[in-house]
Structure 1
Amino acid sequence: MTSLTCVAGLGVSGTAVARALAERGERVVVVEAVEGERQLAAAGELAGLGVETLFGATEPPAGITRLVTTGWAPHHPMIAAALAAGVEVIGEVELAWRLRPAQAAPWLALTGTNGKTTAVRMLTAILLAAGRKAVAVGNVGLPVVRAVAEPYDALAVELSSFQLHWSSTLAPHAAAVLNLAPDHLDWHGSMEEYAAAKARIYERAGTVIYNADDPEAARLAAPYPGAVGFTLRVPRSGQLGVVEDLLVDRAFVDDPVEAAEELATLADVRPFAPHNVANALAAAALARSLGVPSEAVRRGLRDFVPDPHRLSHVDRIGEVDYIDDSKATNPHAAAAALASYRSIVWVAGGQLKGADVDELVREAAPRLRGVVLLGVDRGRIAEAVARHAPNVPVVDIADRETGAMERVVAEAARLASPGDTVLLSPSGASLDMFANYPARGEAFARAVRELRLRREHDR
């Protein structure tokens, strides 16, 4: 009898995995906790391929020889039971790597606590500008298990710590770590385990690329001789960096000791912020490892269209800018946003996922002019503000309804003076109040638009 694979979850990736395996003639069973309309529809489609879906199963199906998870944690009862029974557990990305055909497209992989999606989309834009058939996959865009079956020239692969935890044989052409800060500790159990998952991206990589300005990223790359760093400072030999207003390469050139090649200017990076320049340098390094010319790097960065909710300028009302950075779902991401503006009314709160905000608030304190808090863990941020910025006014919005965002924006506008920036950079996840972080950002933008209408009506 052929082996039986269990797929955990009927999301986009889980459905793609089940379909790919079934189309290869393998026996597949899917387990799914939620019996919703979307899940039932997906199960119906898979049934036509001979795939059975078990809703509400609490134990691994009998007879399985492999379990493919799409993000479930090691302590999930289903996963723990499978591991205890000696069943191999892998992730969708690991499966995709094993299924890729001969002469498959090289993988340019990146990970990090923040900036992954921006960097991987920048990378894709650069590859396309170079005339390469490329696509963003992994934790963004097309499921990898589908992409490996297509004739691409390169895959720009965004990898989360969850995906890397369940990967063991990946060998990307080049791999980059953008940064590393505490996140998802509830999933991994500790910072050490989180960092160990991120470090897996380097284990079999052809070229190791790291953020030389980030101590933890540099630590992960330290065991690999010849690793290529990127920095916001003037680059040393073997690095990419910034010279005045230029992004330059001193790694992927004929003479890294004596020569440097101009790649782009700071004006080519959008939206401009220090952490986004780092993203651009990481994307450039990955592309250059594949031989992409410098003119394609510049053209790709210029062609890149930033995703919504990442330092998106919503409006300017009464000489106050309103910025939507709802994607900042952890303190490290919020720190990058807070460092980008000089005088801030900060809108923050949500689910901190076990992360500490003390250092974030201490660093940002000199730039804070006011703080408006919402969400389940707002009290922890309020305590940090009281310690490090006791003279900064704080407004606590206890309302947990999504309509609370109108109050949030009204209070932020009251605290703001001409020249200030009202910055939604929550530092926490959104699921305590919103469907996802885009919904949170859209609620903020709607409230800002309503503020403008009220101001114009009152004139």
Structure 2
Amino acid sequence: MTEIDERLAGLTSWRSDWRGLRVAVYGLGVTGFSVADTLVELGAEVLVVTAKADPERAMLLEVIGAELLEEADLAAPPARLTAFDPELIVVSPGFHHDHPLLDWADQRGTAVWGDIELAWRLRDKVGSPADWIAVTGTNGKTTTVQLTATMLVAGGYRAAPCGNIGIPVLDAIRDPQGFDVLVVELSSYQLHWVNRNRGGELSPYSSACLNIADDHLDWHGSADAYRAAKAKVYDNTQVACVYNRADPATEQMVRDAEVIEGARAISFGLDVPGPSDFGIVDGILCDRAFLDDRFTSAIELTTIDELRDAGLAAPHVVANILAASALARSYGIAPGVIRDVLTAFRLDAHRIELVRIESGVSWVDDSKATNPHAADASLRAYESVVWVAGGLLKGVDIDDLVKRHAARLRAAVIIGVDREALRSAFARHAPGLPVYEVDADETDEVMPTAVKLAGGVAQSGDTVLLAPAAASMDQFADYAERGRRFQAAVNEFFGGEADEHSASHPGGE
């Protein structure tokens, strides 16, 4: 082991000596800036490398004392980077694992960390380190993280959602108030980089992988690599490994994981639970894991009827609720607290959000369904659908999704740049289905055109569902802009904003 390797292995605390360490930070998004800001505060020398810098963040880098290297072409290491001679590289999630600058780091033997490893090493900045509850999965992460954090706060703990949910973990661990527990949403990109280096091994209190379906294959290179990254969420778990018993891949991940002795496997699902499971009995959500007499008894958490009243009864949302409840119960949250939280909780915008009901047609924005797995869950919630779909497919196969739901479709409206794959899938599996394409070059034109086409074919009892099964960046800044534009187009189509009596919770089962 080299001298620098020994030094890096010993950097396991905020109070370790980080002064003068030369660190190259790859990327200047929200995560990259949080990394640079943290390292400067620790006294490291920081060089941020990016192809294009946001002007405001570039200005802030200068203020905090980090150096910016902005190069449009990063196919080879720029001269300034080689001259800087980094002792450590911290990579943002957006950088592909096979990026030329990471190949260069590998060739020269430079250690590479992700932001999660850095945050784990520094988690003792404010008093005693917070416990981490780690959540991943192809879909449902954000809802589950928000629910779990809300349950923990309602139970009297200082808790915060962070990570891929939008608040960098490094910002959370530096919050002056400190926390008892952080509920950390982890993307497959972030998990790719964890548990690779001595001294930085993540060990969550409890962990969950909600589901697995092919996604981000363009980043990981294969389905196996994507699943291997997700499986890391269970490594070194201390108390509870929560998995989806309807998804055998998640159970296998738990079986294969190296956990802390005594950690339990806890499943959730929409069927009747066995001992150590969460599930549903006669419309009642039950905990059969965290009670003494779990072999003959169960604890009631809430009911499907109560969730329907709160707009939370779609099957995939119920699954997320069960997973969050399992994680919260693993931390000792009382069943009554969980019930109270679910009475008041509401889903994020653009997650099966009912925009309005007109002439018996429901218009629903699920722009956050950015992959086929999420769109599948959304489509299952409705019986007759005019489906607005398309965008950037990220290398995944759309064929099975179309085949599975062809019978429930009234029509389809295709948007985005990857229209050919959807067009071909509809031709194979729904040859008689009316399929319309939005061939619009301008972002402003996409949703008004899509809504007009959908409105022309929808009938009473139908749901016009924006569930794109694809990423948004071909035509929109992000899924939120896509959803906002859909909602605005719907309201414009009907001549103004919906009044408070024109919409209600979707409540599909």
SS in 2 for 1:390: coil
What residue number does 1:250 align with? 288
Relative distance call for 1:454 and 1:392 in structure 2 (3 A) is farther
Shift of 1:20: 1.2
- Deviation by residue 1:43-88 (Cα, 9 ceiling, x = unmatched): 22222xxx21111173244321111111111111112211221111
CA distance in 2, matches of 1:271, 1:238: 24
What residue number does 1:64 align with? 86
SS in 1 for 2:113: strand
Equivalent residue runs for 1:254-333 within 5 Å: 254-266=292-304, 267-268=306-307, 270-333=311-374
What residue number does 2:189 align with? 162
Query: In structure 2, which of residues 152, 155, 167 is the aligned counterpart of residue 127 of structure 1?
Result: 152
Read off the aligned partner of 1:410 and give its amino acid letter: K
What residue number does 2:446 align with? 404
Question: Does structure 1 conserve the Cα–Cα contact (< 8 Å) formed by 2:20 and 2:43?
Answer: no
Shift of 1:406: 0.7
Shift of 1:450: 0.9
What residue number does 1:52 align with? 67
What residue number does 2:260 align with? none
Query: In structure 1, which of residues 340, 352, 375 is the aligned counterpart of residue 416 of structure 2?
Result: 375
1:187 aligns with 2:193: no
- Deviation by residue 1:422-452 (Cα, 9 ceiling, x = unmatched): 0000011111111111111111111100111
Percent identity between matched residues is 44
Relative distance call for 1:36 and 1:15 in structure 2 (3 A) is closer
Shift of 1:276: 0.3
Shift of 1:37: 2.0
Shift of 1:299: 1.5
Shift of 1:209: 0.7
Read off the aligned partner of 1:289 and give its amino acid letter: S
Length, aligned pairs only = 453
Shift of 1:130: 0.8
What residue number does 1:385 align with? 426
CA distance in 1, matches of 2:497, 2:331: 53
Equivalent residue runs for 1:432-443 within 5 Å: 432-443=474-485
Query: In structure 2, which of residues 9, 28, 38 is the aligned counterpart of residue 20 of structure 1?
Result: 38
Shift of 1:103: 2.7
SS in 2 for 1:449: helix
Equivalent residue runs for 1:412-427 within 5 Å: 412-427=454-469
CA distance in 2, matches of 1:214, 1:348: 25
Query: In structure 1, which of residues 29, 33, 36 is the aligned counterpart of residue 51 of structure 2?
Result: 33
Unmatched segments (≥5 aa) in structure 1: none
CA distance in 2, matches of 1:454, 1:241: 42
What residue number does 1:213 align with? 246
Read off the aligned partner of 2:382 and give its amino acid letter: Y
Question: Does structure 2 conserve the Cα–Cα contact (< 8 Å) formed by 1:113 and 1:332?
Answer: yes
Shift of 1:415: 1.1
Read off the aligned partner of 2:154 and give its amino acid letter: A
CA distance in 2, matches of 1:421, 1:218: 34
Question: Does structure 2 conserve the Cα–Cα contact (< 8 Å) formed by 1:326 and 1:440?
Answer: yes
CA distance in 1, matches of 2:114, 2:338: 32
CA distance in 2, matches of 1:290, 1:357: 39
Question: Does structure 1 conserve the Cα–Cα contact (< 8 Å) formed by 2:312 and 2:318?
Answer: no
SS in 2 for 1:167: coil
What residue number does 2:6 align with? none
Alignment TM-score, normalising by the size of structure 2 = 0.86
What residue number does 1:240 align with? 278
1:43 aligns with 2:75: no
Query: In structure 1, which of residues 88, 94, 111 is the aligned counterpart of residue 136 of structure 2?
Result: 111
Read off the aligned partner of 1:222 and give its amino acid letter: R
CA distance in 1, matches of 2:116, 2:338: 27
Shift of 1:144: 0.6
Alignment TM-score, normalising by the size of structure 1 = 0.95
CA distance in 2, matches of 1:394, 1:344: 13
Of the structure 1 ranges 377-386 and 279-288, higher mean CA displacement relative to structure 2 is found in 377-386
Unmatched segments (≥5 aa) in structure 2: 1-18, 196-200, 258-262, 499-509
CA distance in 1, matches of 2:477, 2:360: 32
Shift of 1:454: 8.2
SS in 1 for 2:208: strand
